Chain A
Amino acid sequence: MTMKLTSVGLCVLCLSILGHSGAILAAERKTPTAPEDTLKMKNPVPLTPEVLQEATTIYKDKCIKCHGATGNGKGSGTKGMDVKPRDYTDKSVMDKIPDGQLFWITLNGSDPDTTEMEGYKKKLTEEQVWKLVHYIRSFAQ
């Protein structure tokens, strides 16, 4: 009898959890902000076809899985992800993000609690990251 009651209790608990699924807790984007001096930085790498070409290769190797071939933030690696990468094709969003912020997030990563964006400071040079910033900007143009 005790076990049946316990089973019923556990089932009720299970159903309660299911019931709460109506009020899904959508994770919020909490992107860290770069330090003030980095935010003010302008891209020191001149924009040339060669720079874009190199950045394209880096993007395909390191970024496309999550950020997608078109930069819309819906790459195959984001399947089921609650907080998806930024949509680089959205001009209204990208216009509000300074170069320094893109540079700093690429080097240091975004919010580790809600995103999978890790820092690339061990894998890429600062010059390569600035080239990537040019390429990222090209999606919204």
Chain B
Amino acid sequence: MRLRVLLGAVLLSVAVSGVLAIVAPKTAEAIPAFSRQTEKSCSTCHNAIPKLNQVGQNFRTNGFRFPEDKEWQDVQDLKHTPLSARLALAGEFNKEDGSAQSSKLKIEDFKVHAATPLGKTGKFSGYAIATFVEKSVTLGQAYGQINDLIGEVGHGLLNLKAGTFDVALPFLSHSQRVITQRYFAQEALGILGARNRGTIGDVSEATEFYNTALELNGQIVGSEAGDITHRYAIGLYQPQGLNDQNRLGDPGLYATYAVNFLEHYTLGLIYKHDVVNSTLDPFTPNDKKGVNKWGVAGEAKLGPFITTVGYFRSDGLPNTAGVFLGNDTNRALQNYMAEVLFIPNRLWVFGARFDHIDQELAQSGSRTTVMGRYNITPSVYCQAEWRVTDSGNIGGTPAPDSLNGRVYLVTPF
């Protein structure tokens, strides 16, 4: 049954892919907003969609302008409507220990995306994504940025960004996942992006949650490939895990720094002072608590391999309810992750990730994911993922181990 469902999903993807390969335009001009505006191909900014390479990170931080040339000024005339859309179809297979397997085909989501710099010098940039998923519409990332508060115009030395967006590292964030499985550092720890509103271990894929924040960010980009690049950000945000009461009264604070050196290596640090309620640790009263979270990650791009490793930590809350008598540990959550992407050419992407989480006095959990992607056109691709989850009981409630298969067909236009 399981094989039949997966086979069906693969065959459906291949059939739709074949049609798209015939009808979809192959040129860069035919794909989403930034590519149409700048007349650059996807691979100028992406190692593999949606993961940004160094040029893409420059472009994004700099308010969707390339720092080293003036081609972005073409965009000011809005020659091309800064709109694009994306349709994702998915085939799912799920098998949890102790329950029957399930499978389905569905429309994963439909996204409409608008983004552009505005004004003669691109002083202001806007970005918004509306997502239609499971019969509802949500606003994903939506923000505005005032560029070049100091320094040369078009270099993004210091910018002010406000809105709802992905608070994470420039090279490692949940909006840049090639392997679509979520990071523990996102959904459980709330360091890379916003934590799930629900319980830890909730693998719901319906909607991403972003932080509403006010951020000063910037970058120092050398003029040559071998020069060191610095990216930095500091901001205040509205913690996602709180109830709706007085959320502005308890802002979170964050800072990130990333450095690219020797062209192929990147190191990043992130710190968050988050405000959480009891969902982080079930053994504490239901009250708002400030916790320190931090992480360090590194990435190396060597030929066709991109290897990313990270360690993330969220201090736990004091054991105030006396559940563990005589134990005053703060039960910090720790996360270790390693991911490898193998991109041998413009057609294929392969990847694997190991993601592990542990907490004192709890059974640790891990997720192992492998994926393969075939790019039908520069922007249209089909992707298959196989996920093995050893859930543990972090968060208090033991979750069943599971196997999950996913097949996606993603068609931006």
The interface of chain A, by Cβ under 8 A from chain B, is: 3-4, 6-7, 10-11, 13-14, 17-18, 20-21, 24-27, 60-65, 68-69, 72, 74-82, 84, 112-113, 116, 118, 122-123
Contacts and interface: CB of A to CB of B under 8 A. Distances in A.
Given A80-B264, A118-B40, A11 B368 contact: yes
B245 interface: no
B380 to A, nearest CB: 16
30 contacts: A6-B403, A7-B390, A11-B368, A14-B338, A14-B340, A14-B352, A14-B370, A18-B305, A21-B302, A21-B303, A24-B305, A60-B69, A60-B70, A61-B69, A61-B70, A65-B71, A76-B58, A76-B68, A76-B225, A76-B229, A77-B55, A77-B68, A79-B229, A80-B53, A82-B304, A113-B346, A116-B43, A118-B28, A118-B41, A123-B39
Contact of B370 (A4, A10, A64, A84): A10
B69 A65 contact: yes
A87 B386 CA distance: 44
Contact of A76 (B222, B264, B353, B403): B222
Contacts of B58: 76
Among B53, B340, B369, which residue has the most Cβ atoms of chain A within 10 A?
A: B340
Interface string B52-93: 011100100000001111110000000000000000000000
Contacts, number: 130
Contacts of B136: none
A106 to B, nearest CB: 14
B interface SS class: mixed
A77 B263 CA distance: 11
Contacts of B352: 10, 13-14, 17
Interface in B253-283: 260, 263-264
A24 B342 CA distance: 10
A3 B224 contact: no
B370 A13 contact: yes
Interface residues of B, number: 54
Contacts of B302: 21, 24
B354 interface: yes
A65 B68 contact: yes
B68 A25 contact: no
Contacts of A25: 303-304, 344
B224 A74 contact: yes
Contact of A74 (B70, B225, B229, B342): B225
B121 interface: no
Contacts of A82: 303-304
Interface string B374-413: 0000000000001010100000000001010000000000
The 5 A-B pairs of least Cβ separation, nearest first, read: A24-B303, A65-B68, A79-B54, A14-B352, A10-B368
B289 interface: no
B68 A6 contact: no
A7 B366 contact: yes
Contacts of A113: 345-346
A79 B55 contact: yes
Contacts of A7: 366, 368, 388, 390
Contacts of A122: 39
Contacts of A27: 303-304
B225 A84 contact: yes
Nearest to B28: A118
Contacts of B386: 10
Contact of B263 (A21, A26, A80): A80
B204 interface: no
B390 A3 contact: yes
B173 interface: no
B237 interface: no
Contacts of B344: 25
Contacts of B260: 79
B221 interface: yes
Nearest to B26: A112
B263 A79 contact: yes
Nearest to A72: B224
A18 B263 contact: no
Contacts of B369: 10
Contact of A6 (B97, B221, B223, B388): B388
Contacts of A74: 224-226
Contact of B225 (A3, A21, A78, A116): A78
